[in-house]
Amino acid sequence: MKALVALVFVLVTSWCGVAAAAPIKIWHAYRGEEERALLESLAEAPQKDVVVLAIPYDAFSAKLASAIPFGEGPDLFVDSHERIGEYARRGFVAPVGDALEQGAYVEVALTAVSHDGELFAVPLSLKSLALYVNDDLVDTVPPDLEGIVELVPTLPAGVYAFAYEAQNTYAHAPILHAFGGRMLDDRDGFGFVGPEAERSLTFVADLLDAGAVPRDADGALVTNLFRAGKAAFAMSGPWLAADLGDSIRYHVEPLPRLRATGQPLRPMLTVESIMFSPGGAARPEVRALARHLAGASAAELRMRLGRAVSARRDVDASGDPVMRAFAEQAATAVPMPSSPAMRSTWEPAHKALRKVLRGEADPSTALAEAQRRFDEIRRPPPPPASPTPALVLVGIALLFGAWALVRRVRTPAFRKSVRRSLPAWAPSRRAGSPIRRSGPSWRW
């Protein structure tokens, strides 16, 4: 008995040792300097047995969905806060517990990573759009967007007044918010409808018609236009600063107000955060690593290398004018809703925005169609079909079969055939006599 107890103790101890030695797995979608900042932070961490995997952003959520439910996913991963609602619904994330340093983060970041009253992520950095100003083309920055548009006649030929991705809903959001609109309503319904949304679309269509804004600009075109001196102003995120380098004299400011409403352009705020899989959240060493990656030293490294505004209160961005401007903008930005419904708004809103700006539909018609698309996406699946009709049909078929059998049994021909077959079931006259086949029938 003692030997058995000792053997069990050795096996349990060995298993615990193997479990404790399991490496910490981290997934992220960083590239370039942001990835470099992450790797340098990990090199300074006390936890050395770490496996890092970079995954393309477009495939990130699908990869998590195919791995975490089977215990093959990461212990922690870096992702945008707006996916928290969907991840929590599907059981991909767990509350952060003691991984979050109390009192260290700005309020807007904590609001963003909260879901159903719990904190599901540790904030790292704040990302939003802001206003880039070409100092070689502009002496004085107008106080409102309409004032920027009015600069068109004073600019050199071929220069846009305001470059941004007009046909992208994320880039349209600051103008939508300035008109009093929103993407989701209080009940997680489609909010991109109504007079405010329609006015925002009409306003942007007028900007395109006036030639103040490039019509089919994507992120790459906005970068190229501003870097080449072909745009006096640009609305973009901190990633644009990383692409500009010293090629142009510029500065960054918070977005201006809208003269038509008197309200500021408030961009959407994305909070890049550390999240835990359920298995990772249960490991103290994983939570300790998250505290290190979200600490002040790592935040300063991300700001210096990756040009990322920290979500921490104790990291000062005043020494970097670009980071200071983005920090000021983040304070007034609108945190992107983390509701699972938010992901269903993008495609219908994109299509409506493009239809209006390409002259294919008026704002009212395009937005009504977008709402129908959203409702179709969000409509719950139909309830399982009742088995009752199938059971009734089977019962009817059985009754019909029984009735047909009774009819056959009652026919004279059937009774006659039964009487002829009775001798075949009679007992043998001589025990042990073999059965012989002779002709068409059996004989004893």
Per-residue tokens: 146: 């309409």
Question: Is residue 409 very low, low, confident or very high in pLDDT (cuts 50, 70, 90)?
Answer: low
For residues 412 and 107, which has the higher predicted lDDT (pLDDT)? Answer: 107
Q: What is the pTM of this model?
A: 0.78
292 and 205, same domain (yes or no): no
CA distance 275 to 118: 13
What residues have CB less than 8 Å from 61, skipping those under 6 apart?
79, 83, 86, 87
pLDDT band at 311 (very low <50, low <70, confident <90, very high): very high
- Asked if the structure places residue 212 within a domain, the reply is yes
393 pLDDT band, cuts 50/70/90, is confident
Residue 33 or residue 353, greater confidence: 353
Contact 97, 287 (CB under 8 A): yes
Please tell me which residue, 244 or 439, carries the higher pLDDT value: 244
Contact criterion met (CB below 8 Å) for 233 and 254: no
Q: Are residues 40 and 104 in the same domain?
A: yes
Reply yes or no on whether the pLDDT at 389 is more than 90.
no
Mean pLDDT within 13-37: 77
Q: Which of 378, 402, 428 is the last residue of a domain?
A: 378
- Same domain flag for 252 and 284: no
For residues 423-432, average pLDDT: 57
pLDDT at 380: 72
Higher pLDDT, 8 or 181: 181
Residue 317 confidence (pLDDT):
86
What's the token pair of residue 286?
């994983």
40, 306 in Cβ contact below 8 A? no
Q: Measuring CA to CA, how many Å separate 382 from each of 189, 344, 378? A: 19, 19, 12
147 and 253 in a single domain? The answer is: yes
Average pLDDT over residues 176-200: 96
Q: Residue 236: how many CB atoms within 10 A of its CB? A: 22
Both tokens assigned to 416: 């006659």
Phi, psi dihedrals of residue 233, rounded to the nearest 5°: -135, 155
Residues 276, 207, single domain; the answer is no
Predicted pLDDT of residue 399: 73
State the pLDDT at residue 428: 55
Of residues 344, 274, 278, 269, the one with CA closest to residue 79: 274
Lowest-confidence segment of 18-32, 67-81, 107-121, 213-227 by average pLDDT:
18-32
* Total number of domains in the chain: 2
Domain presence at residue 247: yes
Both 137 and 256 in a single domain?
yes
Average pLDDT over the chain reads 87
**Are 267 and 131 in contact, with CB atoms under 8 Å apart?**
no
Across 80-84, 379-383, 413-417, the highest mean pLDDT is recorded for 80-84
Q: Among the residues of 210-252, which ranges form H helices?
A: 219-227, 238-244
User: Of 12-16, 321-325, 375-379, 383-387, which gets the smallest average pLDDT?
Assistant: 12-16
* Residue type present at position 234: A
DSSP 353-409: HHHHHTTSS-HHHHHHHHHHHHHHHHSPPPPPPPSHHHHHHHHHHHHHHHHHHHHHH
Residue 36 resides in a domain = yes
Strands 231-236 and 160-163, how do they pair?
parallel
Residues 107 and 175 in one domain: no
pLDDT at 141: 96
Range of the domain at 303: 13-127+270-336
Q: Is residue 422 part of a domain?
A: no
Identify the CATH number of the domain in which residue 73 sits: 3.40.190.10
Indicate if 166 and 249 belong to the same structural domain: yes
Query: Do residues 249 and 337 touch, judged by C-beta distance below 8 A?
Result: no
Average pLDDT over residues 42-59: 93
| Helix (H), strand (E) at residue 120 | none
Rounded CA gap, 162 and 230, in Å? 10
* 436 within domain boundaries: no
Q: Looking at residues 40-68, what average pLDDT do you find? A: 93
Write the pLDDT tens digit of every residue in 278-291. Answer: 999 999 999 999 99
Residues 353 and 254 reside in one and the same domain: yes
User: Please, which pLDDT band fits residue 426 given cuts at 50, 70 and 90?
Assistant: low
Q: Are residues 364 and 236 in the same domain?
A: yes
Per DSSP, 344 falls in state G
- Residues 208, 224, single domain; the answer is yes
Same domain, yes or no: 241 and 374:
yes
pLDDT-derived band at 18 (thresholds 50, 70, 90) equals very low
Residue 223 lies in a domain: yes
Residue 246: the pLDDT is: 83
